[in-house]
Structure 1
């Protein structure tokens, strides 16, 4: 039976220390080699925490597979907008302002890991994250943009 280790790592900056090293050591894998491969596969997500799964396919030959997930929507939005964090009190402060194109771009990136059936639904989900983070879209409240998309006033 294949054993798996799931963890979150900073893109391109995994280390042999916790949580990866202690989890992989007992499985007999070359931890440094695995970490090097993880860093190579996650370098495009630099500065973001990325879900990674290491699966030992064959314990005898030490063959393994690394699966890299997609960072959380909030992390993608923060990177896209160049902000450190969302607003602590979203009704009192605005963390940033995104364009609808940026929101659609994040939706396209996340779509494979979302339950959304199409780009419109994925965009609505990303807009929901904008609501939580205090991010406006084209200077408007993201709830208003969601309403406009649902009403057909904005097409995706």
Structure 2
């Protein structure tokens, strides 16, 4: 063996193996973590015990209403253990709940699917301020970000909201959503026929 080869072999032994932890970023419905796709394969390929993770997650989210999408960060360690950080529900989910709508606008900016007040924005921003990435962000900035999310969903932010007027708005909106869903279904069927 040459001198250079022997040096390389000695260097390889002296350098420790660096294992970079992988972070999984995903949304998991509260209380509904199951071993099936998409969560199971995501955890399985990183060598985590899927059943133990699902049990742990479901226990930690038992205080939430079942099915609320919760953003999670799972830091996988080299010994196949993990650190799980569960954030509050997404801004989009909270805004849709506050507006009383099931889905956002199909064409945001051209249509309004619901309305929320500035008080709703403030309350949502206070909830989101508890999330680790936003803990040092001023509440005013979180409010501005929440307003931006509302606009991208087609939710209008207003100062005051008349409940009777808003109920009639939501009734009209149901008809529009039904028409949009029929239109989407027709387009899907037309695509299937072309194939």
| TM-score (norm: length of structure 1) | 0.70
User: 2:51 — aligned with what?
Assistant: 32
Larger radius of gyration, structure 1 or 2?
A: 2
Q: CA deviation at 1:71?
A: 3.6
Task: Tell me the equivalent position of 2:126.
Answer: 108
Runs of 4+, deviation exceeding 6 Å: none
Q: Which residue matches 2:151?
A: 131
How much has 1:45 moved relative to structure 2? 6.3
2:100 paired with 1:79:
no
Higher strand proportion (structure 1 or 2): 1
**Structure with the bigger percentage of helix:** 2
TM-score, structure 2 as length reference: 0.58
* 1:1-156 map, 5 Å: 1=19, 2-43=21-62, 44=64, 46-57=66-77, 59=79, 62-111=80-129, 112=131, 113-114=133-134, 117-136=137-156, 137-138=158-159
RMSD: 2.8
1:100-119 Cα offsets, whole Å, 9 max, x none, are 21110111122243498321
Task: Give how far 1:89 is off.
Answer: 2.8
CA contact (8 A) 2:28 2:69 kept: yes
Unaligned residue ranges in structure 1 (runs of 5+): 141-156
